């Protein structure tokens, strides 16, 4: 039997970040995951936006982890084949396996990794016991359950999933390459849907290393034949669905495997128990279209490791009333509610033909157009004033040099 303060089950984004934060805080923790080398998994492939990156910085490991990612610096926004804006961007492309390995490299002692599968968990007000596939057992004051979508362990504990929206969206990931040119004209691109009938909210293209990665999202059933077409004839299927995309990208080809993954929205029930706390996808999922899954994971983990665990460890026992403070944390609750609301509003703004949502679509288009036009105008004014300053400084230096030569 190994003894620790915190046993973390699952070393994906949530569990690995928690282990890194606890280790840095000097709290003894064991992170248990079967994979020593994280396998390819189609999950989040970029960290982006001020809110998400600020959350990542609160973990204390962002600087080192982001060194393994590709920063694009500028994201082009387009719709209906029109380029609306070239936005300065804080997007960092990184494949999920590389992200997890970079986070794990930041786990210091007294936190440690154990490579095994957890086969059983029993919890109480006092100490918790987890049993591993290699026959070992761990005794901990608290179990952090970060095992993602895996339902087996939760069910053993009487924690169930309540599906809010089955197959809410489909995520499709692949690599895109330009045809007949060395590179695309844009550093990164977000291309919004052309018509509701195609059921596509947007396509995002962003660099990861020397490749251009594509994440395309769709609101379709898991058995929709369109997905088969997308898998076997991705270029033709995308050209049919987004006919004016090539005005921005030029001709392109798809290389490598096309990964297709449906996502259900669910929240857990029956999770208020002694000795165990749920984080990340183990607690609830969100829709990948919103790009807020990482926000939820990071909000859970930073509140848990910065606020709640240090307070819980300072007193005896680990009862359900104590752990409830995490589920009732206003920061966690606000992030979960924001993410869930976004999952439904994104779907509505893509598909709904009602007057309210049509107006929303138009308003968004005009807002991007307005923002882009203002940015172009500001750039032109600044270029002109620079040129003016340059010409007046060179004319004054030429007049002073002619004065000095006449002297
Ligand atoms: C296709 C797709 C695209 C996405 N795109 C985005 C995006 O663009 N932006 C965004 O913010 N979010 C996105 N998300 C959401 C984001 O990827 C997830 O919210 C996040 O990865 C969840 O991390 P996690 O650690 O909770 O779960 P996971 O990463 O699934 O980790 C679970 C871990 O538990 C381990 N495990 C399972 N069972 C056991 C066991 N019995 N014993 C030990 N270990 C176990 C697994 O090996 C795994 O390492 C996307 C999700 C999907 C599916």
User: Is the shortest distance between the CB of 117 and ligand 1 below 6 Å?
Assistant: yes
- Per-residue model confidence as pLDDT tens digits over 335-382: 999 999 999 999 999 999 999 988 988 888 888 889 889 988 888 888
CB 48 near ligand 1, within 6 Å? no
Nearest CA to ligand 1 atom 31: 12
Q: Is 71 in the pocket of ligand 1 (CB under 6 A)?
A: no
Each domain of the chain, given as residue ranges in start order, spans: 2-69+95-164+270-351, 165-263, 356-399
Are 60 and 24 contacting, i.e. CB atoms less than 8 angstroms apart? Answer: yes
Cα of 269 from ligand 1 centre, angstroms: 19
Residue 294 has pLDDT above 90, yes or no: yes
For 255-270, the DSSP string reads EEEEEEEEEEEEEEES
201 lines ligand 1 (CB under 6 A): no
The yes/no answer on whether domain 2-69+95-164+270-351 falls in CATH 3.40.50.720 is no
Residue 244 dihedral angles phi and psi, to the nearest 5°: -100, 5
CATH number for the domain whose boundaries are 165-263: 3.30.9
Ligand 1 center–CA 87 separation, angstroms: 29
pLDDT at 404 over 60: no
Summary mean pLDDT of the chain? 93
> Does the structure show a pLDDT above 50 at 406?
no
Strand 189-192's sheet: what is its strand order?
82-88, 74-79, 189-192, 202-208, 211-218, 160-178, 252-269
d(CA 58, CA 294): 13
Tens of pLDDT along 132-182? 999 999 999 999 999 999 888 988 899 999 999 999 999 999 999 999 999
pLDDT at position 400: 55
Q: Quick one: pLDDT at residue 401?
A: 54
Q: pLDDT for 197-212, tens place per residue? A: 999 999 999 999 999 9
Question: What is the average per-residue pLDDT within 188-192?
Answer: 97
Res. 193: pLDDT tops 90: no
Residues 146-158 pLDDT 10s: 999 988 898 889 9
For the question of whether the overall pTM of this predicted structure is more than 0.85, the answer is yes
User: How many angstroms is it from 165 CA to the middle of ligand 1?
Assistant: 18
């Amino acid at each position: 039997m190994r003894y620790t303060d915190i046993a973390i089950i699952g070393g994906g984004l949530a569990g690995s970040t928690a282990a890194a934060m606890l280790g840095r805080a000097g709290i003894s923790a064991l992170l248990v995951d079967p994979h020593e080398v994280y396998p390819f998994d189609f999950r989040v492939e970029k960290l982006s936006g001020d809110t998400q990156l600020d959350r990542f910085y609160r973990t204390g490991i962002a600087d080192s982890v982001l060194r393994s990612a590709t920063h694009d610096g500028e994201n082009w926004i387009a719709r209906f084949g029109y380029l609306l804006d070239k936005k300065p961007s804080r997007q960092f492309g990184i494949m999920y396996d590389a992200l997890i390995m970079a986070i794990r490299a930041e786990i210091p002692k007294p936190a440690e990794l154990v490579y095994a599968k957890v086969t059983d968990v029993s919890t109480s007000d006092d100490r918790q016991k987890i049993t591993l596939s290699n026959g070992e057992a761990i005794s901990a004051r608290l179990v952090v359950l970060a095992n993602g979508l895996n339902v087996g362990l939760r069910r053993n504990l009487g924690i169930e999933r309540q599906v809010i929206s089955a197959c809410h969206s489909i995520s499709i990931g692949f690599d895109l390459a330009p045809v007949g040119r060395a590179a695309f004209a844009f550093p990164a691109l977000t291309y919004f849907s052309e018509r509701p009938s195609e059921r596509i909210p947007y396509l995002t293209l962003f660099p990861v290393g020397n490749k251009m990665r594509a994440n395309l999202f769709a609101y379709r059933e898991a058995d929709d034949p369109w997905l088969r077409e997308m898998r076997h004839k991705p270029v033709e299927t995308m050209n049919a669905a987004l006919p004016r995309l090539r005005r921005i990208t030029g001709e392109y080809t798809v290389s490598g495997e096309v990964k297709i993954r449906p996502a259900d929205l669910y929240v857990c029930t029956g999770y208020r128990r002694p000795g165990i706390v749920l984080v990340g996808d183990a607690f609830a999922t969100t829709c990948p279209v919103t790009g807020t899954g990482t926000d939820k994971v990071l909000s859970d983990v930073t509140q848990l490791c910065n606020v709640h665990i240090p307070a819980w460890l300072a007193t005896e026992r680990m009862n359900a009333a104590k752990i409830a403070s995490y589920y009732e944390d206003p920061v966690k609750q606000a992030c979960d509610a924001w993410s869930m609301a976004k999952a439904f509003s994104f779907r509505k703004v893509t598909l709904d033909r009602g007057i309210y949502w049509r107006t929303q679509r138009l308003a968004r288009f005009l807002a991007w157009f307005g923002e882009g036009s203002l940015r172009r105008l500001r750039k032109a004014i600044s270029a002109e004033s620079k040129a003016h300053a340059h010409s007046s400084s060179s004319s004054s230096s030429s007049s002073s040099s002619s004065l000095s030569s006449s002297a």
